[in-house]
Amino acid sequence: MLKNEETPQTLGRYRIDRVLGRGAMGVVYLAFDPHIQREVALKTIRSELLNANPDEAAAAPAHDLTSRFLNEARAAGRLVHPHIVSVYDYGDTGDTAYITMEYVRGESLAARLAQHRRAATRMAPARVLGWFAQLLDALSYAHDAGVIHRDIKPANLLIAQRGECKITDFGIAQLDTSHHTQAGTLIGTPSYMSPEQFTGEAVDARADLFSAGVVLYEMLTGACPFTGTPAVVMRQVLNDMPGAPSGLAPDLPPALDAMVLKALAKRREDRFASASQWRAALIALIDTMQHADDADDIDRTIVTMTEPAPAFELPQADAQAASMQWPPELLARLEQRLASHVGPMATVLVRRAAAQAGDSQALSAQLAAHFPDDVARREFDALLAGHAGPVEGGASAVTLDTALVDDATRRLAAYVGPIARIVASRAASRTNDAGTFYLRLVDAVPDEKDKAALRRELGLSAD
């Protein structure tokens, strides 16, 4: 079907519209799913790799791409998060295997960095840190689910048109039940690989955090800290510590230097213990920067922080609230909705308000000023439906009633057909509040008029 890389008219049930890109594995197409009536991205594997002789595959590492392709479907398919590109399906037509993925309108972070290099400019630090907080949130979620990406780099991060940062390409991800790559195997992209990946040690989540540190360095300065031939890069990663980011970007505060260099520590024990710990430190730093009196005062305020930076704990008020946690899935959804109005700083606003609010009404009141109109405010309030407030240890405040799920499934089926039960089941397994559950169902409806109709049926405000 893909001989000479000709564009097929269909692949499985999908109508192929155009080519989005080509790579070592095959072609990525923009396609249309007639059952769900939505655009999707189809990532295919070349037929010669799919049909490779097993003996040849063992002798030629390139043919291992087939198993990595299936690994990507399994790894990303278990993850449902606003900042991870969703995988919907895996298919095989006989001579072509493909993954059906969320189509993200936007561009890769690599493309965005290239634009800035051509213009001899750097990304705005506030925007960089907002995107990076989203990346850490997604990594925390993936690691908790037992998935280590192992190839975090700008080319695998997408910047959507609405401003979200999304992780893609889990082709070499390590699953908690996977034996896809054993200790002693060198795998990844050299300039973004951790020291333990180069030495062939078994990796854990801290390898992703090292790679994320390289990405953050590049976003802040415009330059990758490790460059050259693979041999040179390996020597640098194993032995050389890059200079502080402020050496290339003098406007960056010392506390941010310390944070980046901590992430790039050679010994994994010296890095952040987890993505969630790093994210808490980053939010605290962003909060300090945001609430300075003016741009000139930002540097003076942060210079007073102890050097080298300590463990980057949350401010005392936030730390006291940490034992009374809002559900992480709910906070991620709130951030995503607010981001459409205020951009990446939504992360800071929501997390700070959540640390101070004792109930959903107080949380809504603290964020009300950031919405442009009453319609947007009501939509936000719908997300909070069913949540009285934070609960001890982050336990669920409520659970979804079976009758509620069944009723919503029947309503959704009128717009998307039999797949409604799958969509509703997945949504119910990922959240415990009715508002978030309903909005996930609405997001599965492709037609805007149908979306509005389902919103009304479920008691949500119209767009």
Q: Pull the structure tokens for residue 10.
A: 């269909």
Q: For residue 240, which amino acid is it? A: D
CB-neighbour burial class of residue 81 (10 A; exposed 0-12, middle 13-18, buried 19+): buried
Q: What is the DSSP string of 14-46?
A: EEEEEEEEE-SS-EEEEEEETTTTEEEEEEEE-
Known active-site residue 151: yes
Alpha-carbon span 197 to 186, nearest angstrom: 6
Contacts 24+ apart (CB under 8 A), 316-321: 317/355, 317/356, 318/284, 318/352, 318/355, 321/354, 321/355, 321/356, 321/390
Q: Pull the structure tokens for residue 118.
A: 């051509």
Alpha-carbon span 205 to 217, nearest angstrom: 19
Q: 40: which strand partners?
A: 31, 102
The alpha-helical segments, DSSP class H, found in 60-204 are 65-77, 109-118, 125-144, 195-199
Q: For residue 227, which amino acid is it? A: T
Q: Is 451 part of any known ligand binding site? A: no
Q: What is the DSSP letter of 264?
A: T
Of 33, 64, 137, 151, which residue is the catalytic one?
A: 151
Alpha-carbon span 292 to 294, nearest angstrom: 6
State the catalytic residues.
151
Per the annotation, binding residues for ATP are 43
